[in-house]
Amino acid sequence: MFHRFANPNRFLRLTRPLVPWAAGLTIVLIGAGLYLGLFASPADYQQGETVRIMYVHVPSAWMAMFCYSGMAIAAAIGMIWKHPLADLTAKASAPVGAAFCFLALFTGSLWGKPMWGTYWVWDARLTSMLVLFFLYLGYMALINAFDDPERGIRAASILVLVGAINVPIIKFSVDWWNTLHQPASVVKMGGPSIDPSMLWPLLLMALGFTTYYIWVILVRIHTEILDSKIRAIRMRQVQG
Amino acid sequence: MKRKHKRLTFVIVALALLGAAVGLVLFAFTDNIVFFHSPTEVNEDAFRTDRRFRLGGLVEEGSVVKEQGTVKVSFRITDLAESVPVTYVGILPDLFREGQGVVAEGRLENGIFVAEEVLAKHDENYMPPEVAESLKASGKWDEMSETMKKQGHVTKGATQ
Amino acid sequence: MSDFFSMGGYAAFIWPCFGVTAVVLVALLVISQRRLSASRRLLDSLEAAEGPRRPRRAQSAKNGETAGEAQA
């Protein structure tokens, strides 16, 4: 039983000092991103001031997809190599990814109303992003649906891996089909089509969201590790 | 060790099969996933005109006519090859203007597209107004839209 | 200043985006941090109660992880 905790313990020891660094970087990066995004960057030639919604919308959407990719990789490692830390990582990631996904949908909706003329349309990009949100919710429901946590993780891992096919669909939906959503502006062939004065706040916010993700995910993984130790102690007590 | 490999193979094979299945399904339903049709598609003889659908393209330059004192407007939607006349009664989104991408939902009646909803579609370029002005002044704007036309972005709502 | 807050007439769309993002991210962080503190307290008390079998009990009361490491 103890050897299973050997790696999580090393993980705890190695990653605890990272938490204050991630926290500090998050505050600095998001602070700088907000200053540039709200005060020091111009309005767009077409969209006026609403372009500022981009500085929270786009990083949220990126992180929602990034977080899901991480979960899928962790679930695969947990399934194939039975690495307990991988399962804990996937479990700890889900609420973070769901929060980012919700924010992408919410801010996108408030951006769509003034610019497109509607809060919501069922085009391929918006629909596949909604599917991603439901995948997150489904994972969180499934992992707690079984009395035996092992079976819950197994079932939820399968869901995450099956749903991973949705990530490239989200990314390329705007190229494969006619959508109301415009094609990619930053990650695309031929370089970004965003003026540097708007690209900088966007990248700073995206970096800040990434360090925030690292911060929260470490706190949550540490919690999962402590909880599994608690379960082990309770187990010993029951068995006497 | 052997069981580990078995699980690895199982996961890879299952994901490959699933990917292929999803790819086939998406390919088969391409028509239903398409959010809007282009004027060229709509003007083809084979296009069924009795149903409600979405028409997307650019608002043709100089085609917008607003009826005085009402919210009635008529314009043409073009993909720079073909165009379709459109009428609409209602409030237009802020981004609606000539040369701008637009998606209208409605029906064809006697060759005229009667829209019930008009949504604006913008491109993926973001820049301050001054930069847009200087691009237009230096002629780089046309260059940029030329490349975008070549990349087939026109039906996806690239500007002029 | 009021120019800044009115955001060219789009204040009703722009500020809720920033506000809700801030609320969601801060709430997630606070909830996660609280759960960690609660789990650490519980683990410490359980390990203290298991006492006799733990060689480094005095330290484990202060720091759950170090004690866990000793077990491993």
Is B91 in the same domain as B44?
yes
Fold of the A18-184+199-239 domain: Four Helix Bundle (Hemerythrin (Met), subunit A) (1.20.120)
Terminal-to-terminal C-alpha distance of chain A: 15
B4–A42 C-beta distance less than 8 A: no
Nearest CA in chain A to B22: A165
Q: Among partner residues B35, B132, B157, which is closest to A45 by beta-carbon distance?
A: B132
Total domains in the fold of chain C: 1
C66: in domain: yes
Q: What is the three-class DSSP state of B105? A: strand
- Neighbour-count burial of B95, counting CB atoms closer than 10 A to its CB (0-12 exposed, 13-18 middle, 19+ buried): buried
Is B145 in the same domain as B93?
yes
Q: What span, in angstroms and rounded, lies between the C-alpha atoms of A123 and B34?
A: 8
Q: Which residues contact C55 (CB under 8 A, 6 or more apart)?
A: C70
Is B88 in the same domain as B27?
no
CA distances, A55 to each of A49, A65, A206, B131, C3 (Å): 12, 16, 8, 20, 20
CB A129 within 8 A of CB A150: no
C5: in domain: no
> What domain range is B9 assigned to?
2-33
> Nearest CA to CA, how far is B160 from chain A (Å)?
13
Give the per-residue pLDDT at B159. Answer: 33
Confidence of residue B160 (pLDDT cuts 50, 70, 90): very low
| ipTM summary value | 0.91
> Nearest CA to CA, how far is C51 from chain A (Å)?
12
Q: Which residues in chain A (69-88) have CB-CB distances under 8 A to chain C?
A: none
The one-digit pLDDT tens for each residue of chain A (240 residues) are 344 545 788 889 989 999 999 999 999 999 999 999 999 999 998 889 999 999 999 999 999 999 999 999 999 999 888 888 999 999 999 999 999 999 999 999 999 999 998 999 888 899 999 999 999 999 998 888 888 888 889 889 999 999 999 999 999 998 888 888 988 988 887 788 899 999 999 999 999 999 999 999 999 999 999 999 999 898 888 886
C43: in domain: yes
Q: What is the CA radius of gyration of chain A?
A: 20
Terminal-to-terminal C-alpha distance of chain B: 61
What is the model's pTM? 0.86
For the ranges B9-13, B65-69, B74-78, B153-157, which has the lowest average pLDDT?
B153-157
